[in-house]
Amino acid sequence: MERLTQRLAVASVNQWVRRVGVAIVAIVLILVGYAFLYQWAMLTFEGEHRTFANALQVVVETLTTAGFGGDTDAWNSTPMNLVVIAMNLSGVLLVFLALPLFVVPLIRESLQQPQPTTSNLTDHVIICGYSYRDEVLSQELSDAGVDYLYVDEDTDVVDNLLSHGTSVILGDSEHVATFHNANAERARAVVADINDEVNPTIILSADHVNPDLEIISVARRSAVTHYHRLAGADHVVEAPRVLGESLGTRARTSFAEKFRQTVEVETDFHVSEVLFEEDSRMIGKRLREIQEFSDAGVPVFGGWFDGKFQISPGADTEIEPNTILLIGGDVDITDDIHVRRLPDHTGDPGRVIVAGHGVVGGVVTETLERHGLDADVIDIEPHGRVDIVGDVTDPATFEGIDLDHARSIVLTLDRDTTTIFATLVINELAPELEIIARVHNVDNVWKVYNAGADFALSMATITGKMLASHLIEHREILVPQTDFEFVRTKAPAIAGQTLAEAHIRAETGCTVVGVERGDDFLSELGPDFEIDEDDVLIVAGTHQDTERLIDLVH
């Protein structure tokens, strides 16, 4: 690291020496050239001889606007006046060129914050590389109170992070010395996120400094994951596969369907998902402030917040653009609040259309077929698994496809502009069809929703949250491919206790979302709700969490 810092310092000094040298040579050439020009002009146009020294003095006085000496009365001809005017303008021009090229950069560099090369953080996560997915990860870590430190060798990236108050050091993540400087001996984990070829070297260097570190690597291709593990990675997050499985799982079943399949009593109570559009007047409000829900006594079982599913969000949870809530009961959704109910797949066939058969589209197809659903694949090129060759932005492509009897369509296209256009086309042809979309640039997620998509995910967002799920203890960050489920169970071990006394959430991570009591389904459950011996609890959580709950209540 010291050698790297020295090289950067030497390079910076050499650059300034070259710039100053070029400037001096240019000024000398201009002065000498104008001195000869002045000598010639005075002799030619005014008939007077001037020595080179005298001519040089006049030129310097003219260019610096310091004065014109005693030669002013000798400039009587028009050509001579034009020469002097040219020298004056040149002087002004040189000043304007010098400011942006030399003076401003010098001032900026003198005010620039020194780039740190070491850190004293402890129990922190070292993030090697910087991208939007790492920004998602760092936000999740901040929310969980976990310190993190970026390591990057790009001085511009380091400057940008420093300007935002982010912990970062300048360094090459492939070098062992960098991990010593990042205090890896006292860190909790390392995230390798440069590229598929560099990440194994990062893993080896980090492991050499601290064999107890938890090391997570990001892989762009499935073929390299084996080698990342051989290098010593504890976990490898395959970004395209994570996204493909997430989209495929979303198309396979919705949480609303899972809930309906779990509850067995006869009841008019039902669940559905509602999307808060960008222009909804509910944006910025907290759940407790949504009168349409409180007036109807509508419980909120969960919600999608920026690609993350949260079980039983609190009353102070803020509604953001394109939040999707899983709600129970009836709620009057009027056009003026710009909230739309998403398709619930009641009676829909097990057939999904997949548009685009690249890496992500291939994983979507595999996920669907692995769970017994049929996948009709559309691609603009005839290859492999493609069933229909066509352009999804052309309505004619869908003439032979029964969109009205499909479960959903998953768009895994190469460009966001194509995805947006295709969404508009499909939404017009089949307004009731669920549209699930992959988004490349996270800044385009809102555009895809506004075009009519029902669910959209970017690879950067989903990968960042998956990384966080490996790093944050006792906190499952639920994304679409997480094994989330609803289960029904009796609870004899906690009969007679209230929900607050049973500590179900604290002990297992599960949330009780309803109770079957005889032929009734009870959904309004406060902390003082007492559990009867014959009650059947409907609980939500990951498969691992629900197994812990069953052990607790039996």
Rounded to an integer, the average pLDDT of 73-86 is 84
CA atoms within 13 A on the CB side of 30: 18
Q: Regarding beta strands 271-276 and 324-328, do their DSSP bridges make them parallel or antiparallel, or are they unpaired?
A: antiparallel
Q: Are residues 382 and 325 in the same domain?
A: no
Residue 20 lies in a domain: yes
CA-CA-CA-CA torsion sign (242, 243, 244, 250): positive
Answer whether residue 116 is part of any domain. no
Final residue of a structural domain among 298, 318, 341: 341
Same domain, 356 and 434: yes
Model pLDDT, residue 5: 46
Does residue 505 register a pLDDT over 70?
A: yes
DSSP assignment of 287-326: GGG-HHHHHHT--EEEEEETTEEEES--TTPBP-TT-EEE
Rounded CA-CA distance 75/72 in Å is 6
Q: In what order do the strands lie in the sheet with 511-517?
A: 484-490, 536-542, 511-517, 520-522
Looking only at the bridges linking them, the beta strands covering 235-238 and 214-219 are parallel
Looking at residue 193, its pLDDT comes to: 93
Residue 60 lies in a domain: yes
Residue 476 lies in a domain: no
220, β-bridge pairs: none
Same domain, 310 and 365: no
Query: Which pLDDT does position 65 carry in this prediction?
Result: 65
Which pLDDT does position 366 carry in this prediction?
Answer: 93
Residues 518, 461, single domain; the answer is no
Angle of CA points 86, 91, 96, to nearest 5°: 125
For residue 14, the enclosing domain spans 2-111
pLDDT tens digits, one per residue of 149-166:
999 999 889 988 988 889
Mean pLDDT of 121-145: 91
Longest dimension (CA), the chain: 120
pLDDT reading at 235 higher than 90? yes
Domain C-terminal end among 415, 436, 471: 471
How far, in Å, CA of 239 to CA of 218, rounded?
7
Query: Tokens representing 61?
Result: 């006085």
Pair (104, 205) in one structural domain:
no
**Is pLDDT at 329 greater than 80 in this prediction?**
no
Question: Based on the domain organization, do 45 and 98 belong to the same domain?
Answer: yes
> 107 and 24 share a domain?
yes
- 467 and 490 inside one domain: no
The Cα–Cα gap between 524 and 536 comes to 15
Question: Whose CA is closest to 341, among 319, 324, 317, 320?
Answer: 324
Instruction: Note whether 71 and 100 are same-domain residues.
Output: yes
Angstrom distance (rounded) from CA 253 to CA 263: 16
pLDDT above 70: residue 499: yes
Residue 107 above 70 pLDDT?
A: no
Asked whether residue 93 is domain-assigned, the answer is: yes
Q: What percent of the chain has pLDDT over 70?
A: 87
Kindly tell me if the per-residue pLDDT of 67 is higher than 90. Answer: no
Residue 331 lies in a domain: yes
Q: What is the mean pLDDT of residues 224-238?
A: 95
pLDDT at 427 over 90: yes
**Pure H helices in 185-270:** 199-209, 225-231, 239-252, 255-262
Please list, residue by residue across 129-162, b when 16 or more beta carbons sit within 10 angstroms of its beta carbon and e when fewer do: bbbbbbbbbbebbeeeebebbbbbbeeebbeebb
Number of domains composing the chain: 5
Last residue of a domain, one of 447, 471, 495: 471
Q: Return the CATH number at 328.
A: 3.30.70.1450
Residue 97 sits in the same domain as residue 136: no
Q: Are residues 461 and 500 in the same domain?
A: no
Residue 332 domain-assigned (yes or no): yes
The rounded mean pLDDT for the chain is 84
CATH code, domain carrying 140: 3.40.50.720
- Residue 1's pLDDT band (cuts 50, 70, 90): very low
Looking at the fold, whether 8 and 101 belong to one and the same domain comes out as yes
pLDDT at 347 over 70: no
Asked whether the predicted pLDDT for residue 396 surpasses 90, the reply is yes
116: nearest Cα among 89, 149, 85, 141? 149
pTM: 0.72
pLDDT tops 80 at residue 420: yes
More confident residue, 13 or 444: 444
Least confident window among 213-222, 243-252, 522-531: 522-531
Note whether residue 374 is domain-resident: yes
